[in-house]
Amino acid sequence: ASVAATGTVRSTCPYCGVGCGVVAKPDGTVAGDINHPANLGRLCSKGSALAETLKNDDRLTQPLIDGRAAEWGQALDLVAQRFRATIAEHGPDSVAFYVSGQCLTEDYYVANKLMKGFIGSGNIDTNSRLCMASSVAGHNRAFGADVVPGTYEDLELADLVVLVGSNSAWCHPVLHQRLLAAKAKRPLRIVAIDPRRTATCEDADLHLALRPGTDVALFNGLLAHLADQDALDHGWMAAHTEGAEAALAAASAGAAQTAEITGLDPADLARFYAWFAGTPRVVTVYSQGVNQSSVGTDKVNAIINCHLATGRIGKPGCGPFSITGQPNAMGGREVGGLANQLAAHMRFDQPEALDRVRRFWRAPNLATKPGLKAVEMFDAVLDGRIKALWIIATNPADSLPRAARVREALRACPFVVVSDCWPNDTTALADVVLPAAGWGERDGTVTNSERVISRQRPFRLPPGEARADWRVLASVAQRMGWKDAFSWSNSAAVFREHAALSGFEKGGTRPFDISGLAMLTDGQYDALAPVRWPVRWAGDAGGRLFGQGGFATPNGRGRLVPTPFRPPATRTDEAYPLVLNTGRIRDQWHTMTRTGRVPRLLAHTGEPRAAVSPTDAARLGLTDGDLVRIESVHASTVVRATIDAGQRVGELFLPMHWTDEFCSAGPAGRLVSAALDPISGQPELKLTAVRAQAV
Ligand code: SF4
């Protein structure tokens, strides 16, 4: 199929959480959408190469049962029959769905409704667990809801932007370009807090290369400094927050050790603290370097504490700001795609929410407790508690920690279904493979990091017999006996139901309320322009939240949470003396199923290379380009070394993208630690103890 055979189509980039608008044109090109509020026409290298990812050469085009081509009817009957039989014999918690921030909101909604409302288990989790679960947990603790209070414009209006664990120049490039454009016009300081000297640090006025996992100590030190300097907003705190006393006490208790714990120069610390204290408009951006940690939730709250204590939230140029990795991590959070959420930001521990959702769905078996989070879910597959698993739009055989163990779990699982666009290391282990419609073929919505809901619109037909995930899920649900509840005619109907569920029956309010979109006609849904939630009535559009208080906690107050410093769970020792950090590179996406097929994107970095500090390289006898073996307790790999003066001594960095399909080194996920944040369940992907030697 050719691009935009039916004319120019506006859609949304399928990669990162910036959520840029794109225009697919009849000449086969994809350009930035100047009318989209996220990017105003800009695209990064990945977004600009979207048209080159549309070849169908090796797409999945037909259902496969045990590796052999099958009819859709056969495959759907088999999936429904095996799930039904497993549930009948072993109960609803013996099955699970593992979905993805690549899913559209409509896909997510149907999957969540099927698992939590009809099968009756909380066992649906998403690969967003690897991306931003700690931010979700931190937001819920501080705000009473999972809300990003600000907008992208706040980064342009701020006088100080603090980037924590966020290589935005490579991972959220268009937002980074907006920040640099603002900095070029007026005085705007950037502070980058990252153990590595990344591309982002080159644009910063100050780089704090802190010891990995010590962000809590850094921000506790900041809170204590703000208190010492009388730089807190006591009036705002008294009117709108609670918990300040305990949070300040916890912060002050460890403040004297901040330089020692973080490994930072006291003069650099003093400069950062003075800039924060003396700048009324501050935005603190945080992403995977904060979240992917066994202390990730505390890191998020230590950051938010500083904003709540100074009233720097929900006002122009102010606020804590989580930037998500994936295009629809936010949409997944909205429908309840995480195992510990119910639906529409409602929680399992709210009896009125359980009642509301049960009645709204006419759910015969509503789950009443959270299910298993991603890493625990695959542990349960391996030990036999989960006997039927459906994986949608994600590749856990490469991307989850201890990836070899995940493969073992998939081999051991009696029944595995995988829905995807391309064959990969996970589809290779499936009993049933279902071909999915991909970007440019799917019809639905996504929500970006600033709460803007945008349309992904189709402009070509799916190859072969590939189908939209929500339709496949609905077909299976109908075959399992729930015909009426899963009988939407199109994605607009799914969206209207999702929007209606988000509204309140009798007064009340919650930040995530898009009931103003519940009456969209099919035509209005087709034409829907990007809109920020909350959307409580037709024509409403959300702005900044919490500037005047009004948090989603029972008493309306934002909570400062005490975050005494705890070292990360993963420790180095004599056997494994180095720290391995994993992450993204500029031009690749996830496990490369799309970007790995574009030569000009591969040209930026053609193979996975381990970044090694000059000191470690000398000790190991490595020169640039030499092969190095990196070994953790879980696995080992051999890659080329890049000598990188931006690496701290004792620390290595390895890109997360490469898989067995693209490189003999295999996925970095095989090596990675499965230590979890006890609150969010997010794995510590930024910190694995390893050893290295020249090969
Ligand atoms: Fe796509 Fe993100 Fe690049 Fe925008 S910044 S074009 S959303 S990858």
> How much distance in Å is there from the Cα of 113 to the middle of ligand 1?
30
**Residue partners of 471: CB distance under 8 A and separation at least 6:** none
**Which residue minimizes the CA distance to atom 2 of ligand 1?**
16
Q: DSSP class of residue 516?
A: G
Atom of ligand 1 nearest to the CA of 22: 6
Query: ipTM, 2 decimals?
Result: 1.00
**Which residue minimizes the CA distance to atom 6 of ligand 1?**
47
Residue 587 has a pLDDT of: 84
pLDDT band at 507 (very low <50, low <70, confident <90, very high): low
> How much distance in Å is there from the Cα of 177 to the middle of ligand 1?
11
CB atoms within 10 A of CB 391: 24
> How much distance in Å is there from the Cα of 265 to the middle of ligand 1?
35
Residues 277-296 have a mean pLDDT of: 97
Atom of ligand 1 nearest to the CA of 174: 5
Q: Taking every pair of C-alpha atoms in the chain, what is the biggest distance, in angstroms?
A: 70
pTM attached to this predicted model: 0.96
Give the model confidence (pLDDT) of 317-327 as tens digits.
999 999 998 88
* Burial profile 241-267: b = 16 or more Cβ within 10 angstroms, e = fewer: bbbbeebbebbbebbeebbebbebeee
Residue 2 has a pLDDT of: 36
Q: Are 65 and 431 in contact (CB under 8 A)?
A: yes
User: Is the four-CA dihedral 586, 641, 606, 674 of positive or negative sign?
Assistant: negative
- What is the rounded CA–CA span in Å between residue 379 and residue 410? 10
pLDDT band at 4 (very low <50, low <70, confident <90, very high): very low
> How much distance in Å is there from the Cα of 47 to the middle of ligand 1?
5
Question: Over pLDDT 90: what percentage of the chain?
Answer: 87
Residue 86 has a pLDDT of: 98
At 587, which amino acid appears?
Answer: D
Nearest to 684 by CA among 337, 148, 299: 299
Question: Over pLDDT 70: what percentage of the chain?
Answer: 99
Give the model confidence (pLDDT) of 68-100 as tens digits.
999 999 999 999 999 999 999 999 999 999 999
Residue 667 has a pLDDT of: 75
As for ligand 1, residues whose beta carbon falls within 6 Å of it are 13, 15-16, 18-20, 39, 43-44, 46-47, 172-174
Residues 649-670 have a mean pLDDT of: 82
Residue 586 has pLDDT above 90, yes or no: no
Residue 144 has pLDDT above 90, yes or no: yes
- Whole-angstrom CA distances from 535 to 184, 352, 511, 552 are 34, 22, 9, 16
Distance spanning both ends of the chain, measured CA to CA: 47
Lowest-confidence segment of 44-53, 284-293, 590-599 by average pLDDT: 590-599
pLDDT band at 6 (very low <50, low <70, confident <90, very high): low
Residue 596 has a pLDDT of: 82
Atom of ligand 1 nearest to the CA of 175: 5
Instruction: Please state, rounded to an integer, the average pLDDT across all residues of the chain.
Output: 94
Pocket test for ligand 1, best of 174, 324, 452, 604 (most atoms within 8 A of CB): 174
Q: DSSP class of residue 122?
A: -
Atom of ligand 1 nearest to the CA of 448: 7
Residue 139 has pLDDT above 60, yes or no: yes
Q: Structure tokens of 456?
A: 């992904």
- What is the rounded CA–CA span in Å between residue 687 and residue 695? 23
Angle of CA points 46, 47, 50, to nearest 5°: 90
Give the model confidence (pLDDT) of 551-566 as tens digits.
999 999 999 999 999 9
Atom of ligand 1 nearest to the CA of 39: 4
> How much distance in Å is there from the Cα of 428 to the middle of ligand 1?
29
Residues 411-423 have a mean pLDDT of: 97
> How much distance in Å is there from the Cα of 561 to the middle of ligand 1?
33
Residues 453-472 have a mean pLDDT of: 96
Give the model confidence (pLDDT) of 209-243 as tens digits.
999 999 999 999 999 999 999 999 999 999 999 99
> How much distance in Å is there from the Cα of 70 to the middle of ligand 1?
36
> How much distance in Å is there from the Cα of 266 to the middle of ligand 1?
37
At 299, which amino acid appears?
Answer: K
Reduced to 3 states (helix: H, G, I; strand: E, B; else coil), residue 655 is strand
Residue 665 has pLDDT above 90, yes or no: no
Q: Residue 559: enclosing H or E segment and its boundaries?
A: strand 558-559
> How much distance in Å is there from the Cα of 282 to the middle of ligand 1?
24
Residue 54 has a pLDDT of: 87
> How much distance in Å is there from the Cα of 32 to the middle of ligand 1?
10
Task: Sketch out the chain's domains with CATH numbers.
Answer: 9-53 (2.20.25.90), 77-131+328-428+461-532 (3.40.50.740), 133-323 (3.40.228.10), 578-694 (2.40.40.20)
> How much distance in Å is there from the Cα of 210 to the middle of ligand 1?
28
Nearest to 283 by CA among 184, 150, 169, 168: 150
Q: Are 199 and 167 in contact (CB under 8 A)?
A: yes
Atom of ligand 1 nearest to the CA of 12: 7
Strands (E), 496-550: 531-532
Pocket test for ligand 1, best of 12, 16, 170 (most atoms within 8 A of CB): 16
Lowest-confidence segment of 212-221, 655-664, 676-685 by average pLDDT: 655-664
Pocket test for ligand 1, best of 36, 46, 330, 456 (most atoms within 8 A of CB): 46
Residue 592 has a pLDDT of: 82
Atom of ligand 1 nearest to the CA of 48: 6
